[in-house]
Chains A and B, each alone.
Chain A
Amino acid sequence: MAIKLPGRLPEIDLPLALAALGLVVVGLLMVYSATSLPGAHEGLWSKQLMWAFVALGAAWLVAAIDHRVYDSLAWPLYGVALLMLVAVLVFGSSAYGAKRWLDIGPIKFQPSELAKIATVLVLARRFDDPKVKLHRFAQWLPAMIIAFLPFALVLKEPDLGTALSFPVILIAMLYWGGMPLRQLVLGLTPVMNAGLFFFTGSGLWFGGLFVGLVVLLRPRWPALVALVLLNGAVSIATPHVWSHLHDYQKRRIETFLNPGDDPYGSGYQIIQSKIAMGSGGIAGKGYLKGSQKALAFLPMRHTDFIYSVVGEELGLIGTLTVVILYALLVLRGLRLAVVSRNRFASLVAVGIVTALFYHIMVNMLMTIGWAPVTGLPLPLISYGGTALIVNGIEIGLLQNVALRRHEF
């Protein structure tokens, strides 16, 4: 006689849950170590432990509710998120010259995090609609607007790092939603065009790339004409705009695009981070034994630069373990998107995974000095209440997909 157990615990994706849990534990250990020196941040690890429990609760709750509820909640949530982003620009509290936070009573809240989840849900809902045919150019437009609004508002804060996560999520979800890769690449050419010009200062690079792409991907005639016209306009406009800027305006744009270029601030942090990581070697200096000399002046060693503490104390073994845990998390998340029978859920999984992956990449590449300092924390590891809870919600959404992967 078989007893059917109620509850859905066995249905969750166990590797994903364990990877997430492992990362949170690594985070707690490292926050403890990074704040163990006598000084301002002493004892933060106990707060982080509390946040970790809150995040676990949030994940549980989010996983338990049927995702159809999120489907219908997507638009209201998106509206609220946009309103809050506007509120940040108006009443937000600023730090390091940017307005990113809303003070709600005792807690500080970063609405751009909520906006990310809301955007994923809205895009998933839209692409789930069978009437939306993503190989049709005209139907990209609403999706682009959906991603553009939070992008622009977050960019205004200014927070380039977080803002860019919106177009990245959009691209991944467009692709997953069924837009042919070919169209996606060709559609992105105007962005590549302007970007390459700013980086190389010459239109030739893009010219070569464009010819190569056209030969390789062979767009149809009407599309080709439209692309040539569009890129022609961009090619003419970009240098024109650039040369009409004053030196100081150019300088401001350059600092904006690449804040690490400012050696006084973030360049210093990168150097310190590299010394910490490099001196850790393969085995590290040992837990709690990091001299942290190099990090002594790094005010964000328990938040944005927590990965350098990992590198210093636990060495390559520690850093690669973290990489493997993240890879496990992301790849399991992608697998959920493949196996889920519900198209909405599948799209949500891809959006969430992309957001996580983007954050992981930007932070890790920053700590090893290969990406600009943008102020993005390391998901699940860095100290910070909002970020940890939002990460919890994201893991909860992935588990939600896992729980109902056989449902339509």
Chain B
Amino acid sequence: MQHSPQVRQSRQEHARVLQGVVLLGFGLVALGLMRLQVAQHVQYLELSKENHVRLEVLRAPRGAIFDRNGQLLADSAPSFNVVYRPFPAESLALRRLVRSDAWTRRVARALMADTAEVRRLVAGAGSGGQTVVLRRNAPFEVRAAVEETREELQGIEVVVEPLRRYAHGTLAAHLLGYAGEINDVELDSLGSQGYRPGDLIGRSGVERSYEEMLRGQDGAEFVVVNAAGQRVSTLTEGPPRLPTAGHDLILTVDLAVQQALEQAMADVQRGAAVALDPRDGSVLAMVSRPAFDPNEFSVGISFTRWRELTAGGENPLLNRAIQGMYPPGSTFKVVTMLSALENHVASPQTRLQPCFGRYQFGARSFMCWKHEGHGSLDFIGAIEHSCDVYFYQIGPRLGLDHLEETAKALGLGERTGIDLPQEKKGLIPSEAWYDRRWGAGKMPKGTLLNLAIGQGEILVTPIQLAMMLAEVAVDGQPSRPHVVREVRGVAHPKHDKQGRSRLEASAEAWSAVHEGLERVVATGTGTAAKVPGVRVAGKTGTAQNPHGKDHALFVCYAPAENPTIAISVVVENSGHGGSIAAPMARVALAELFLPDSLKHAVAARVPARAAADTSGGVSGD
């Protein structure tokens, strides 16, 4: 085979095109070089002489957060930060100076900060040439001290940057979450998303789940500084960019309801409460105790303070409303009743063995909460008075599969999918679960009796309880709970419909449950939740708990004829649901439904009044 002339000629033609491209490319580079090094030489020479160019970041404020009526919950306000700006590599004397003990001590004294901390931060800045914040939101004394001793504090400056503020302190702290300075680990994984040292990043609550919307885009300007590091002028070239603020959020939360619920829960040591709208799952209020003040994190939190917050059993950073898992106690009787009616185990009128305070099952005796017994009750009466004996009898007839199915259809044992981070699932045990635990078929006989009254292995979160009752209130129409109604400037965030299928039950079953729950508050165990002029339907619960006093629970919805709110309250280790938890729900209901003149009477002295209300024998269930 010969390298034929045709091949050679065709190759030469092709090569000419490629040569053209190559020459064009190098020509372009040469052109750029001549422009830069000849035409603009004088200008750049000037810049490189005794001045140098420094980049100054213009921090973008995070988006503000408002309640559903436009009341401010969180925003960013200008504040004074003390920063250190590193010197260029050729300023050898200055670079040596800032590594000296004398300089570090002077700075620490002026800033009223820890010497070791100052040294660590300054050393970190030196390597990357980045400005570091030494003290956020510096008080007046610090600023004055810095200004006075300016000459001795080389590289230290006071700048104005946005500070995250939470207008109501601890109010709704868990729902809002907090934002803190980004750490090295996060920087490494998020660097490609434009995060830089010193940026704030949402760490919990809405601040975290809506981080991408809330965070703004930092701007920057190039400034020319002299050898002493002082600003001479601003460089017009380059991409100077103004910061863009983050998107504002409008929450579904109603500040008034939140405040009422916060106040009602003021003395609660540990517990949580959720109020939401059953029509669409929008959360009106969410409280978790103990609470924390997110403002602490905005200015930077010391390690010891952090340990204080996270160590020990209290853990104020835990959002118990979505992360606390509790046995539901008698509130679960709503599930048992619905399941029994739907699976035709009993009708609303069914009367079983009368209650004499205990129920004999094989060799074991199961107690009713009311020792003197309820006598003979129908199903509606049984839920009204929360008769354990009646429900013990329902359990085995219903069977585990039916009970599990109904509980799951009401959203228990699964994350609700609320737009807050780190929600817990809880637990609805299945037959397979018991088989794993005890061995196949070895589930203890009494298990179903306990499950039917909400004791045993079942665990639920307060948000699940609120959603459970919300769905009961609207005849099983599922929705997904959410806390953000609108992100300003962004197409509406779609709260996709709940993926769960609707709990199907007959109209008869729904109305029986509704009637029973309404009677709980009217004449049953939950009278402490009564609000004049409003038909409230609810259920009390008292969950036994091996680690101390019982947990008090209460769930309700109102108005019964056209529900617009569903509430769950859990108070850890406090006593009976009817006396402790129900009055707290009443305060939120009063806030929504009563005119101002009557609200205060209801809200006043909650626990004491609650005790008085229920002193007539109904002390729980």
Q: Does B34 contact A (CB under 8 A)?
A: yes
Given contacts A175-B14, A264-B57, A292-B90, contact A275 B48 (CB under 8 A): yes
Residues of A within 8 A of B34 (CB): 316
> Is there a chain A Cβ closer than 8 Å to B306's Cβ?
no
Given A267-B220, A279-B48, A337-B11: A370 touches B490 (CB 8 Å cut-off): no
Q: Which residues of A contact B49 (CB under 8 A)?
A: 279
**B311: chain A residues within 8 A (beta carbon):** none
The count of A-to-B residue pairs whose CB atoms sit within 8 angstroms is 184
Q: A319 to B1: give the CA distance in the assembly, Å.
A: 45
Chain A residues whose CB sits within 8 angstroms of the CB of B92 once the complex forms: 38
Would A277 and B33 be within 8 Å (CB), given that A38-B92, A297-B88 are in contact?
Answer: yes
Measured CA separation A326–B26 after assembly (Å) = 9
A179 to B41, CA, bound (A): 45
A327 close to B33 (CB less than 8 A): no
CA gap between A361 and B30 in the complex, in Å: 11
Cβ contact within 8 Å between B37 and A268: no
Asked if B93 is at the interface (CB within 8 A of a chain A CB), the reply is no
Q: How long is the Cα–Cα vector from A326 to B128 in the complex, in angstroms? A: 33
| A247 CA to B489 CA, complexed, in Å | 9
B238 and A361 contacting across the interface, CB-CB below 8 Å: no
Q: Is there a chain B Cβ closer than 8 Å to A396's Cβ?
A: no
In the complex, A311→B193 CA distance in Å? 32
Report how far A214 CA is from B608 CA in the complex, Å.
87
Contact A357 B25 (CB under 8 A): yes
The answer to the question of A291 belonging to the interface, with a C-beta cut-off of 8 Å to chain B, is yes
Which chain B residues lie closer than 8 Å to A316 at the CB level? 33-34, 37-38
* Chain B residues closer than 8 Å to A341, beta-carbon distance: 3
Shortest Cβ gap from A242 to chain B (Å) = 13
Task: Say if the beta carbon of B22 comes within 8 Å of chain A.
Answer: yes
Interface residues of B in 445-466 (CB under 8 A from A): none
Q: What B residues does A275 contact at CB under 8 A?
A: 44, 47-48, 53
Q: Are A267 and B239 in contact, CB atoms less than 8 angstroms apart?
A: yes
Contact of B37 with A277 in the complex, beta carbons under 8 Å: yes
Q: Is the CB of A337 within 8 A of B490?
A: no
**B594 lies within 8 A of chain A by Cβ:** no
Distance, CA A251 to CA B246, complexed state (A): 12
At the interface, yes or no: A334 with Cβ under 8 Å from chain B?
yes
Residues of A with C-beta under 8 A to B350? none
Cα of A219 to Cα of B540 in the assembled complex, Å: 79
Q: Which of A211-254 contact B (CB under 8 A)?
A: 246-248, 251-252
Q: Which of A98, A274, A338 contacts B44 (CB 8 A)?
A: A274
- Docked complex Cα distance between A192 and B69 (Å): 48
B188 x A94 contact (CB < 8 A): yes
Nearest B-chain residue to A283, judged by Cβ: B37
Query: Closest Cβ of chain A: how far from B327's Cβ, in Å?
Result: 41
Interface size on A, residues (CB 8 A): 73
Other-chain contact of A320, B33, B47, B237 (Cβ < 8 Å): B33
Chain A residues, Cβ within 8 Å of B1: 408
B192: chain A residues at CB < 8 Å are 96-98, 158
The chain B residue sitting closest to A246, CB to CB, is B490
Chain B residues, CB < 8 A from A54: none
Enumerate chain A residues within 8 angstroms of B40, measured Cβ to Cβ: 278
B90 interface neighbour in A291, A334, A337, A361, Cβ under 8 Å: A291
- Name, among B10, B32, B40, B191, the residue most crowded by chain A CB atoms within 10 Å (CB to CB): B32
**A97 engages B41 (CB within 8 Å):** no
Over the window 263-279 of chain A, the binary record of Cβ atoms lying under 8 Å from chain B Cβ atoms (1 yes, 0 no) is 11101101110111111
Q: Is B222 an interface residue (CB 8 A)?
A: yes
The closest CB in chain A to the CB of B199 belongs to: A264
B29 adjacent to A368 (CB under 8 Å) = yes
In angstroms, Cα B52 to Cα A293, docked, is: 7
CA distance A322 to B247 in the complex (A): 49
Chain A 305-343, CB-CB to B under 8 Å as 1, else 0, gives: 000000110011001100100110011001101100100
Most chain A CB within 10 A, of B17, B192, B193, is at: B192
Nearest A residue (CB) for B238: A271
Q: Any chain B CB within 8 A of the CB of A294?
A: yes
Contact B47 A247 (CB under 8 A): no
Whether the pair B239, A277 counts as a contact (CB closer than 8 A) is no
Q: Which of B211-219, B360-368, B407-415, B585-593 has 4 or more CB atoms under 8 Å from chain A?
A: B211-219
CB <8 Å contact, B89 and A37: yes
Closest-CB distance, B182 to chain A (whole angstroms): 13
Please provide the chain B residues from 239 to 271 with a CB less than 8 Å away from any CB of chain A in the complex: 239-241, 247
Expressed in whole angstroms, the minimum distance between the Cβ of A26 and any Cβ of chain B is 15
Chain A residues, Cβ within 8 Å of B491:
246
Is A267 touching B18 in the complex (CB atoms < 8 A)?
A: no
The residue on B at minimum CB distance from A317 is B37
Q: State the Cβ distance, A16 to closest chain B Cβ, in Å.
A: 14
- Residue B45 contacts which of A262, A279, A346, A368 (CB distance < 8 angstroms)? A279
Q: Given contact pairs A264-B194, A271-B53, enumerate 6 new A-B contacts (beta carbons under 8 Å).
A: A246-B212, A252-B193, A260-B239, A263-B239, A278-B40, A365-B32
Q: Give 9 closest A-B pairs by Cβ, nearest first.
A: A278-B44, A97-B191, A97-B192, A296-B88, A279-B48, A297-B129, A263-B220, A296-B89, A368-B32
Show 12 residue pairs from A and B whose CB-CB distance is below 8 angstroms, ordered by the A residue: A176-B18, A261-B239, A264-B218, A278-B37, A279-B49, A282-B38, A291-B48, A291-B90, A296-B52, A297-B88, A327-B22, A361-B25
